């Protein structure tokens, strides 16, 4: 059995739909004998992880599975090993860097 890293995408729809479009991108580990089975298993799991719940405003929230957009074989698991990479080409570099800084600060304050 081998490990694979799969990127799942879900669309988040809540209440009346009067909100900014939201998509949740998740990286999940998949264990499979071969690449084809890892892809199929990821798609099956993506549908299984869809869910509906009621938020604190008593609105129905749906996590609708969109697709698996990437499945990558994992090499050896070593300290500092790169497991995923993506290149961003933001239209507004300052805004992008501000969002990255804010996320980083949130990580450091949540400890």
Instruction: For residue range 42-69, list pLDDT tens digits in order.
Output: 999 999 999 999 988 888 999 999 999 9
- In this structure, is residue 15 part of a structural domain? yes
Amino acid 38: pLDDT? 97
Q: Which two tokens stand for residue 64?
A: 């609708």
Domain encompassing residue 7: 2-79
Phi and psi torsions of 9, nearest 5°? -125, 130
Which residue shows structure tokens 């799942």?
8
- In this structure, is residue 101 part of a structural domain? no
% of residues, the chain, pLDDT over 70? 96
Using a 10 angstrom Cβ sphere, with 0-12 exposed, 13-18 middle and 19 or more buried, the burial of residue 42 is: buried
Amino acid 85: pLDDT? 77
pTM as predicted: 0.73
- In this structure, is residue 95 part of a structural domain? no
* Number of domains forming the structure of the chain: 1
- In this structure, is residue 105 part of a structural domain? no
Amino acid 81: pLDDT? 79
- In this structure, is residue 111 part of a structural domain? no
- In this structure, is residue 61 part of a structural domain? yes
Spell out, as residue ranges, where the chain has pLDDT lower than 50.
none
Q: What is the C-alpha to C-alpha distance for residues 66 and 87, in angstroms, rounded to an integer?
A: 21
- In this structure, is residue 85 part of a structural domain? no
- In this structure, is residue 106 part of a structural domain? no
């Amino acid at each position: 059995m081998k490990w694979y890293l799969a990127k799942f995408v879900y669309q988040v729809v809540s209440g009346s739909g009067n909100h900014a479009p939201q998509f949740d991108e998740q990286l999940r580990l998949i264990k499979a004998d071969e690449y084809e089975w890892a892809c199929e298993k990821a798609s099956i799991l993506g549908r299984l992880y869809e869910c509906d719940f009621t938020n604190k405003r008593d609105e129905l929230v749906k996590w609708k599975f969109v697709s698996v957009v990437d499945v990558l074989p994992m090499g050896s698991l070593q300290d500092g090993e790169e497991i995923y990479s993506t290149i961003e080409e933001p239209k507004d570099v300052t805004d992008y860097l501000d969002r990255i800084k804010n996320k980083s600060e949130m990580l450091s304050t949540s400890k």
